[in-house]
Every structure is written in structure tokens, then in C-alpha cells.
Structure 1
Amino acid sequence: MLCRMHLAPFASSSLATRLGTVRTLWPHAETIFSELQQEMEKAREFMSSFEKLLTSQGATAMEQAPRTSTALSTGSGEGFSICQDVKNFTPEQLSVKVVGRKVVLVGQKETQSTDEKGSFSYKYEVLKREWDVPEDVDAEALTCSLSKEGQLRIEAPRLALPNTLERNVPIQVSPAAPQPGPAPEDGATTKTQM
């Protein structure tokens, strides 16, 4: 760490008259800051070129990314219904699980290829979606179906509430509680008959 003595001219010190010319091991502040500024400029240039590279590759990757759409229908009387576009995945690459009150869809796909020049490419795709199952839906009766167009439909019916029949609830009347009698005076004993 630099202190004031290293940055200020040594001649202003009272020791300068006794010691004469003294050199420190610390470089001048101007040298440090100019080198730091040059390094920062190099870093900025590198980051801007890297950002341009990512932006150009990111745009093409976004165009190639699989489109997914979700339609959630939880209307009254219909239950729980989800439609997810999974046309880039085969049924073997998909799994649907019920974890507590959540439905979890996971799709995993690996592709490897080698071109005519001998370049090797490897691609790993993951699709993961989660949905909360409402409390009034029977999660145990969940079903899945996959259409030829690649639409995965996940459905569950509403819980069947038992029909409430009308019934009368009898009112029980408890017997009157016995009234407590006068308490015996101190020193008096009560005899119990058997």
C-alpha cells in the first residue's frame, strides 16, 4: 500500500536535510496508473469483441432452438390440463413425474455427428418444466398422451367430492349438574354410609 511519504516529494520531509537523496522501492503513482489504464483498455477491447462473437452466435442459436409452447387450462369442471410442444423429443427421451403437488416434465436428448472433414460435434439438449397441481385436482389420476404432431398433453380430473346428503343431527341434552351442598365447618367430620 502506498503512503503519503512515497507519493510526496522527499525533499519536503524534515529527514531530507539529514539523509540527503533517498530512493524508495515504490514506483511513481503516475507510472502505476498509466499501466493500469492501458490494461483496462485492452480488457474493454477484448470484452467488446467477445460480446460481438456471442451476439452473432446467440442469434443463430436462438433461431435453431426448439419452440415450446404451453397451454394451461384449469377451468371449472375441467380439472387440470397442460399441452406442451415436445416435437424435438421422442417418447423415450421424455419423463413425467408427480412430486408432491407438482408435475415435472423432463426431456433429455444427445446428438453426435462427424462431418466429411472429420470434425466431431456433440449436442445435449434438456427441456424441464414444472407446474403446480391445484388442491382440488386428483394428482393420482394424472395421465399423459403424445400426439403425432409432438404435443404432450398432461391431464388430471378434479377430485370427486362426495354427495352431501341431508341429515338431522340430534341434540343431546345433558342431565342437570348436581348442586354443591353447604361445605362442612372446620373440625367437623362427615361420615360416609356403606
Structure 2
Amino acid sequence: MLCRLHFAPPAGALFPWLGPVRTLWPQPGALFAELERELRQEMERARQFMSSFEQLLGSGGGSAGRLSIAGDRAPGAGSDGFSVCQDVKDFAPEQLSVKVVGRKVVLVGQKETQSADEKGSFSYKYEVLKREWDVPEEVDAEALTCSLSAEGQLRIEAPKRALPAAPERNVPIQLAPAVAQVAADDSAERAKA
């Protein structure tokens, strides 16, 4: 509600009897103090979320968001090869495809949902999930396997390539010129003695 003080000129030397001027807008200091308080609360909530997320990843339990990586390593080659786990519980197995394209593994999930209600309203929903992972050189991409758990976790794995056994061979030792000179001097001194 407005009163005559809202339309009055600012109080100063000309109008000392008016006192402080009231406006509809909040004081800038109060406004910024409120924004700062809300920002601090939001940052604290984000810190708590990241802390709990870090604990979840550290314990290895559950899936973190939509992508869960086996163990604490990044997707790629570990001591046992390549392994990733993707949450695909929103997709049926026939809606998923996994392809190896060069040195990449590509997962694509596509789903269409159509519905109509008794009032004649019609809705259509099309969802696409696409993920790509690089397959390291030391992993055998031809031996890639996929398995889908009852909980909707798709595990993509490939073993490391078996290194061929190297035949045994003798490696000759070559003497550098400085070492050859020292060896010649040692043999000359032994001959004098």
C-alpha cells in the first residue's frame, strides 16, 4: 500500500521534517545479504552431496547416477582388461545395441512411448541413451562380451590381449669405446705384472 511518503522527494537539507524515506524496494544491502545466505546454503548442500557421492564411489556399492565404473578405476584397461557397467533399467534388451567401431565401444538405447487417455489426449515420448568408451590398445576388442543383470545393469567387458611368448635368446654385450680402452689398459697392466 502506498502512502504520501512513497512519493515524497528524498529527505535531505530541504526536507528535514520528513525523516527516513520508505520505498517498496528492499535495501540493496539486505537484498545482497539474503542472496549471499542462500548461495552459502546451496554451496553447503552441494558439498554434502559430493561428499556422499564420493563415499558411495569409494564403497563400490550401487550405481552412481547413470554410469557406474567397475572398481575405482576409469573405464579402460585394468589388471583384468576392459570393464564398464551402465544402468539401463529403463530400456528393454531389444531396445539396446552394443557395437565396436574401431577402438570404441558404442552403446545405444532407443525407446518410444505412446499413450492416449479417455479425453482424447495423445502423448508421444522418444528417449535415446548413447554412451561411448575408448578401448585401450592392450585390450582384445574382438573378445568383447555384454551381459545384462536382472537389476538392469549392462556390463561390457573385454580381456587383455595375450602377449606372445618371446623365445629365449642371448643378447651380446657391446663395449663402448671408452670401456674398451679401460679394458685394454687393464690387460696391459696385468701383462706387466
**TM-score of the superposition, structure 2-length normalised?**
0.51
SS of residue in 1 equivalent to 2:118: coil
1:92 and 2:90 matched:
no
Contact kept in structure 1, 2:77 and 2:138, CA below 8 Å: no
Q: Equivalences for 1:17-28 in 2 at 5 Å?
A: none
Task: After TM superposition, give the deviation of residue 73 of structure 1 in Å.
Answer: 4.5
Per the alignment, residue 164 of structure 2 pairs with 162
Q: Does 1:68 align with 2:70?
A: no
Larger radius of gyration: 1
The superposition leaves residues 66-122 of structure 1 with CA deviations (integer Å, 9 ceiling, x where unpaired) of x51231444542100000000000110000000000000000000000012110000
Q: 2:110 aligns with which of 108, 111, 126?
A: 108
- Structure 2: gaps (5+ residues): 1-64, 173-193
What TM-score, normalized by structure 1, do the two folds share?
0.51
Find the aligned partners of 1:140 and 1:98 in 2 and give their Cα distance: 8
Counterpart residue number, 2:142: 140
Q: Determine the structure 2 residue equivalent to 1:79.
A: 81
- Structure 1: state its 5+ residue gaps: 1-66, 171-194
**CA RMSD, Structure 1 to Structure 2 (Å):** 2.0
- How far apart are the structure 2 equivalents of 1:161 and 1:95? 30
Runs of 4 or more consecutive aligned structure 1 residues displaced over 3 Å after TM superposition? 72-76
What does residue 187 of structure 1 align with? none
Distance 2:105 2:86 in 1: 12
Residue identity over aligned pairs, in percent, reads 78
What is the CA–CA distance in structure 1 between the aligned matches of 2:142 and 2:154, rounded to whole Å?
Answer: 18
Q: Secondary structure at the match of 2:90?
A: coil
CA distance in 1, matches of 2:77, 2:104: 18
For 1:131, the equivalent position in structure 2 comes to 133
Q: 1:14-73 CA distances to partner (integer Å, 9 max, x unpaired)?
A: xxxxxxxxxxxxxxxxxxxxxxxxxxxxxxxxxxxxxxxxxxxxxxxxxxxxx5123144
Give the partner amino acid of 2:84.
I
CA distance in 2, matches of 1:106, 1:89: 10
Q: Does 2:144 match 1:153?
A: no
CA distance in 2, matches of 1:102, 1:75: 13
Q: What letter is aligned with 1:98?
A: V
Q: Which amino acid aligns with 2:129?
A: L
The 3 A distance-change label for structure 1 pair 108 and 76 is closer
Q: Which residue of 1 aligns with 2:61?
A: none
